[in-house]
């Protein structure tokens, strides 16, 4: 992207502020995990930094879960501007006796739009110790509920929740889509 995604302007504020503001409507315990040297504007969150850089999503999830006060934690990335609170509430409600609830969208699991129980922290630490940096390795070790595309479409027919910003073109398209949706 050429610059930190979390600080990209989105709807008149840095993307991380947009994300925190959106999620604060559903959750009171918000944790933001940043890279070791990364700084953010003042946010009403618990801010933690990766203990070791470049440990991928598993590291971020692990450090976030460690800092969380809540037993159930929704995990997302900073570059997903179209969070759907109804879908997130549905995912949380599916936890029951599961350790993870993860959506399955576009032929793949979405580990950075999933709900984790804090009890998986030791398993994530073991994964890091083995340099297994993909969250999906966890799913076969714990009770995991995969949410089907059909269930997701009930709340988010277009799957915008899983749209993230991996390139300048993605960013420009998201801005245009946000403007279109804001007008309607």
Q: State the pLDDT at residue 91.
A: 98
pLDDT of residue 2: 74
CA distance 32 to 37: 14
Range of the domain at 23: 5-183
| pLDDT attached to residue 61 | 96
- Written as one string, the DSSP assignment of 114-159 is EEEEGGGHHHHHHHHHTT---THHHHTTS-EEEEPHHHHHHH-TT-
* pLDDT in the model for residue 39: 86
Distance separating alpha carbons of residues 15 and 7, to the nearest angstrom: 6
Total number of domains constituting the chain: 1
CB 74 within 8 A of CB 88: yes
Instruction: Tell me how far the alpha carbon of residue 135 is from its chain's centroid.
Output: 12
Q: What is the block-wise mean pLDDT of the chain (184 residues), using blocks of 10 residues?
A: 86 94 96 89 92 87 96 95 97 97 97 97 96 93 98 97 93 94 77
CATH number at residue 142: 3.90.550.10
């Amino acid at each position: 992207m050429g610059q930190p995604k979390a600080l990209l302007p989105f709807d008149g504020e840095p993307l991380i502020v947009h994300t925190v503001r959106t999620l604060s409507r559903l959750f009171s315990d918000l944790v933001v995990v940043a890279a070791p040297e990364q700084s953010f504007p003042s946010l009403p969150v618990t801010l933690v930094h990766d203990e070791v850089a470049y440990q991928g999503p598993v590291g971020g999830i692990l450090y976030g879960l460690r800092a969380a006060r809540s037993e159930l934690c929704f995990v997302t990335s900073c570059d997903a501007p179209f969070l759907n609170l109804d879908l997130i509430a549905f995912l949380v409600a599916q936890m029951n006796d599961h350790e993870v609830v993860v959506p399955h969208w576009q032929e793949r699991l979405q580990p950075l739009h999933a709900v984790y129980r804090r009890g998986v922290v030791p398993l994530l630490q073991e994964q890091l110790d083995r340099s297994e940096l993909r969250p999906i390795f966890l799913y076969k070790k714990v009770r995991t509920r995969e949410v089907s595309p059909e269930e997701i479409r009930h709340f988010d027919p277009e799957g915008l929740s899983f749209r993230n910003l991996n390139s300048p073109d993605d960013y420009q398209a998201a801005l245009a889509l946000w403007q279109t949706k804001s007008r309607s």
